[in-house]
Structure 1
């Protein structure tokens, strides 16, 4: 197993998709770091892409593969977050170019986070570390997702208020985080929170549906085994 040769325990489609996304983000990260993004001044986002790739693959990279990489389902979701946020939204400027890209991202990122959260709490449930119904799991994950969305909005406000006009703002192109081509800052913030909530609910429900499907087939959601194996290693 290596960066270009993902875990052979996955099926061919997942392995090829993982390989394509890893290579694309690596090339995009290097290119954006060297040449910038849409305006040539977004090099910081190229660095962030490379850092994200390193963090995602850190268990395998820094232990010589003695500790396996993240389960493929989780890595694909994380790579999708990097792709849509750092490459699309930031380096290519889609937050500014596409009027509703911000709404799209505030729906999709919480969906990914909630789905990963369901994988983690289900693993604890399956191995006896958590006692809860699937509905209770979903509610917990949705509440946590809403909380993370609130923290993000506070971060965006802090950046716009105190950092955008300083040295950090110069590095990131002085882009305002709150507000969009179609909304003022207040409407943007409230719509972000509503779409964060919707994305969290959908992600949690998808998790419950995947659990139910596995149980109907007489088994359990296999992601729990992969997460447990990774923890034990």
Structure 2
């Protein structure tokens, strides 16, 4: 199996086709943006970042000829979606500036993805006996961690705007201000982002709980736990 031809034994036909489409699209987008730039012709750095992200996500499988799969397909799909919406849509195509509420959308979706992946990890720890907790306790833990992640993002945005946006790094990224939006001043934008991060984390944790309960009602367990537990084996 290869980058463009995922192993059918590891996933359903739908997952395999979706993974193949996203891999091909992001590879083509990364190469195109690196050569020609994004919406303004000046966003080549984001094309490079797309290719770097793809390399990091797929490096173990590529190096070992797919004998080692570090990432379960569910997690890889979520990571590829993050690359698509953030680096392609938000940065290279400038949707953060062009669409008034794209920033709100991203501050909801990224924590949702992270919370859902977090639920996969803590459920794996629970299922294999390394964590004792109820589903509610798992969800609360993930929501708290997601809120913390959102706070770190806001500190990163403030640091970039204050110290880097006017210098050489800002010239590479197009001198875009990360705090503030077409509809909000920086303070309102920051607080709204934190509330939206929290909402995304809550929804992601709830989705994780629902997927776990559905699997248990069917008489089994969330199969992603097996993939996470045995990844690299």
Note whether the superposition's TM-score is higher than 0.5.
Answer: yes
Runs of 4+ deviating beyond 3 Å: none
Q: What does 1:122-141 align with in structure 2 at a 5 Å threshold?
A: 122-141=123-142
Instruction: Find the aligned partners of 1:3 and 1:64 in 2 and give their Cα distance.
Output: 10
Instruction: Find the aligned partners of 1:60 and 1:132 in 2 and give their Cα distance.
Output: 33
Structure-2 residue corresponding to 1:214: 215
Q: 1:69: Cα distance to partner?
A: 4.5
Any idea what the Cα deviations from partners look like across 1:138-167, whole Å, max 9, x if unmatched?
011001100010000000000000000001
Structure-2 residue corresponding to 1:119: 120
The gaps in structure 2 that reach 5 residues or longer are none
Q: So what's the TM-score if we normalise by structure 1? A: 0.98
The number of residues matched between the two structures is 232
Any idea what the Cα deviations from partners look like across 1:93-141, whole Å, max 9, x if unmatched?
0000000000000000000000000000000100001111111100110
Q: What does 1:75-224 align with in structure 2 at a 5 Å threshold?
A: 75-224=76-225
Structure-1 residue corresponding to 2:43: 42
The gaps in structure 1 that reach 5 residues or longer are none
Please report the RMSD computed on the Cα atoms of aligned residues, expressed in angstroms: 0.8
Instruction: Find the aligned partners of 1:62 and 1:117 in 2 and give their Cα distance.
Output: 26
Instruction: Find the aligned partners of 2:7 and 2:226 in 1 and give their Cα distance.
Output: 15
